[in-house]
Structure 1
Amino acid sequence: MGPNTAAPAGACADVAIVILNWNGAKFLHRFLPGVVAHADGARVIVADNASTDNSVELLARDFPTVELLLLDRNWGFCEGYNQALAQVDSPFFVLLNSDVEVTLGWLRPLRGLLEANPRIAAVQPKILSQIDPTSFEYAGAGGGYLDRLAYPFCRGRLFDTLEKDLGQYDDPRPVAWATGACLMVRRTAWQALGGLEPAFFAHMEEIDFCWRLQNAGHEVWYHGGSAVQHVGGGTLHKTNPRKTYLNFRNGLALLYKNAAPGELYGPMFQRLVLDGVAGLRFLLSGQLGNFWAVLRAHFSFYGSFGYWQKKRRAARPHLRVRDRAGVYDGSLVWAYFGKGKRKFSELGLK
C-alpha cells in the first residue's frame, strides 16, 4: 500500500507512527482503529516482520489508509525497527507497540516538547495499564530511571510493584530512559546513533538507545501530559525464560557498553554477584527454566565478549561520567529487598 495521501495536514504531519508487527493481528484489530482516529495528521505505518498469521490480509482489508512495510523475515524487535525506519523519511518517529491503546490528544504534547527544546531527542508519554487504567504499567510507567548498577526502574514501578496513578507523576521531566512501547524520536538522532542495538534482539534495547543518546549529548524526557494504555507481555510474559535470558544478558551488555571507565568495573562485579543470587533464588523456588536462562545469559555474554568490546571501543569517546538525568546513586536491590521500599517517592529522588 502506498502512503495515505488523503490524510489531513494536522499538527503532527511531520510525525510517522510506526508499529512493528509480528503475528499481532488480534492487537491490530483491537487497537489500530484508535491509532488511526487519533493520529492528528501523522502517518500511520505498520512494518510487518514476516507474520504468519492474517495480519497482512487484515491490514489490506480493514485499514486501507495505513501504510504497510513488508520485511522479508522476522528480524526481531531491534533490527526490525532498524530495517523499517530506514525506509521512513519523516522528521519524527513514534515507535509504538501493537498492544498500546492511545488516547485523544496523546501525540501533540510529545511533538510539542521536541519542538520546544532541540536538545531533547526522545520522549515517552505516561504508560498506564490497559487492563487497569488506574495503575501504571510495567514498561515505562512514569519515566525510566537507573540505579548505580544499571538496574532499571520507573516512577510508578519498582521491580514488579506498580503504583496507582494519582497524578503524582504528571510533570514533564528528563529521565534516564524512555519506554520502547511508545517512544517519539528525532530522526536525525536515530540515524546518528544507528538505531537500536541489533544484538539485543528485544528487551532493554530502549534503555541502551537512551543511554547512548545521553552519552552523545542529547536529552531524554517523560511527558505526563500525554497518556497511553499498554497491555504488556504481548510478545513474552515477564516470567518466560526467554525473556529472563534476554533481560539478564542484555543487562550485562547494557552496563558494559555504556558506563564511563570509572563507573564500570565495581558495578559490573556487583551485577555478576547479584545475578548469581537471582539464579540461586530461581533454583530454590523450582523455576528451573529461569535458572538455566540466567546461566545461558552469562555464557552468551562471555561468548560474545569480543563483540561487546568492539561496541565499547567505538563508543569510548562519548562515554560520560554519571551526569545523566534519572540516575539513582544507591542500589535499587538493597532499597527494595533490604529496606522494603515499594514506591518511587521513598527513594528520595525528586
Structure 2
Amino acid sequence: MVIVTWNGAHLLAECLDSVLDCGAKILVVDNASIDSTTDLLASDYPQVQSVRLPTNTGFAGGVAHALTLISTPYVVLLNNDAAVRPGWLPALLAPLYAEPRVAATSSKLLLPDGRMNSAGGLVTAAGYAHDRAFGQPDDGRWDEPVELMYGCGAALALRVEAVRAVGGIDPRFFMYYEDVDLSWRLHLAGWSVRYVPRAVVVHQHSATAGSGSLLHTFYTERNRLATLVRCGSAGMAVRAIARYPLTTLSVGLFESRPKAARRVRAYLSFLRWLPALLAQRRRLGGRSARLEVQRRLLERA
C-alpha cells in the first residue's frame, strides 16, 4: 500500500490508523515535507516503511517512485486524507484476484458528512473528468459494480504487471488526471477498470491542494489536454486544443483574471510537452481502439 504525503502530518495519523490492521505492507512516500511528518512516522508508526524524497514530486511523482521500489503483483494507492472502513482492502482486491483482465479497482468514496465523493470516474466528450455521484446521497444507487472510464486515485488498487506494460504512472503530471491518463491507457491496451462499491473509504476531498486553487487550475487544465493528446481520438484532442484559447479569454473577461493567467501558463506548459506526448501517442492503441473506448465509456450528454 502506497500513501503519498506532503505536509500532511495533520491528516496522516487518521489515515494510517485506519489501515494498520489491513495486513498489507505500507509505504509512505514523503514529498519533502517541512512539517512534523518525519517525526510522526518515527515516533508513532515505526512499523510503517517510509521514504523521504529530496523535492516535492507531487502525487504522480511519489507513486512513480514507489513503483520502482515494490515487487508485489498488486499495489494499492491511498490518499493521506482518506480513512478506510472495515473490509475495504479484501473487497477492493477481490476482482483483481478473480479476473485476470481487471487491471484497476476503484473504491466507493464518501465525504465526511456521508454524501458521495466518488463512485469512480467519468470523462465527458470534451475531455473533462469528474467523479460519478459527487455530492449525491449514499442511498443505494451507487452500489452496483460497473466498468469505469477511470478509477479514482484516492483509493485505487492496481495490477502492477498491467501498469508497467502501459508505461506506468507519468511523474510529469505531478497531480490531477494521472488516474485518468493511466486508466485510459489501460483501456487502450484491453484491460478493465472496475468500481467496487463494497470497498468504502471516507475522503476529505482536496484537503492538500484545494479544489478551487490556482494550482488546481494549472494542473487540471494542462493535464487534461495532455491526456487527450496521448489517449483520445484525434478529433477529440484537436477540438480541445482549439477551444482552449477562447475558453481562457472568456474566463478572463467574465470570471477571474488570475485564473485566466494560470490557464495561459498551463497552455504554454502543455505546448512544451506536446512533442513528447505525440511520440507517446504513436506507441499506444490505434484509431479503432481509441474510438471503441470512447464509444463504450465516455459520458453521454
Q: TM-score, normalised by structure 1?
A: 0.80
**Which residue, out of 176, 184, 187, partners 1:203?**
176
Where do 5+ consecutive residues of structure 1 fail to align? 1-16, 331-350
Q: How does 1:283-294 map to 2 (within 5 A)?
A: 283-294=252-263
Percent identity between matched residues is 32
- One-letter identity of the residue aligned with 2:4: L
> SS where residue 174 of structure 1 aligns?
coil
Identify if the C-alpha distance between structure 1 residues 77 and 180 changes in structure 2 by more than 3 Å, giving closer, same or farther: same
Q: How does 1:126-141 map to 2 (within 5 A)?
A: 126-130=108-112, 132-133=113-114, 135-137=115-117, 141=118
> SS where residue 306 of structure 1 aligns?
helix
Q: How does 1:180-191 map to 2 (within 5 A)?
A: 180-191=153-164
Q: How does 1:1-350 map to 2 (within 5 A)?
A: 17-37=1-21, 39=22, 41-130=23-112, 132-133=113-114, 135-137=115-117, 141-157=118-134, 162-259=135-232, 263-265=233-235, 267-272=236-241, 274-316=243-285, 320-324=289-293, 325-330=296-301
Whole-angstrom CA distance in 2 between matches of 1:319 and 1:297: 30
- One-letter identity of the residue aligned with 1:299: L
Q: What is the root-mean-square deviation of aligned Cα atoms in Å?
A: 1.9
Whole-angstrom CA distance in 2 between matches of 1:240 and 1:190: 30
Bigger drift between 87-96 and 208-217 goes to 87-96
Contact 2:188–2:285 (CA<8 Å) still a contact in 1?
Answer: no
- One-letter identity of the residue aligned with 2:278: Q
In the TM superposition, residue 82 of structure 1 has moved relative to its aligned partner by: 1.0
> SS where residue 68 of structure 1 aligns?
strand
Contact 1:172–1:223 (CA<8 Å) still a contact in 2?
Answer: yes
Task: Provide the aligned length of Structure 1 versus Structure 2.
Answer: 299
> SS where residue 126 of structure 1 aligns?
strand
Whole-angstrom CA distance in 2 between matches of 1:143 and 1:108: 18
CA offsets per residue over residues 42-93 of structure 1, 9 Å max, x none?
Answer: 1122121222211111111001221122333322221221112211112211
Where do 5+ consecutive residues of structure 2 fail to align? none
Contact 1:92–1:186 (CA<8 Å) still a contact in 2?
Answer: yes
Identify if the C-alpha distance between structure 1 residues 274 and 156 changes in structure 2 by more than 3 Å, giving closer, same or farther: farther
Q: TM-score, normalised by structure 2?
A: 0.93
Rg: which structure is higher?
Answer: 1
In the TM superposition, residue 197 of structure 1 has moved relative to its aligned partner by: 1.4
> SS where residue 171 of structure 1 aligns?
coil
> SS where residue 20 of structure 2 aligns?
helix
CA offsets per residue over residues 90-136 of structure 1, 9 Å max, x none?
Answer: 22111110000111111111111111111100011111112x11x11
In the TM superposition, residue 301 of structure 1 has moved relative to its aligned partner by: 1.6
Whole-angstrom CA distance in 1 between matches of 2:171 and 2:207: 20
Whole-angstrom CA distance in 2 between matches of 1:152 and 1:122: 17
Whole-angstrom CA distance in 2 between matches of 1:292 and 1:224: 39
> SS where residue 292 of structure 2 aligns?
coil
- One-letter identity of the residue aligned with 1:45: L
Contact 1:31–1:99 (CA<8 Å) still a contact in 2?
Answer: yes
Contact 1:47–1:68 (CA<8 Å) still a contact in 2?
Answer: yes
> SS where residue 16 of structure 2 aligns?
helix
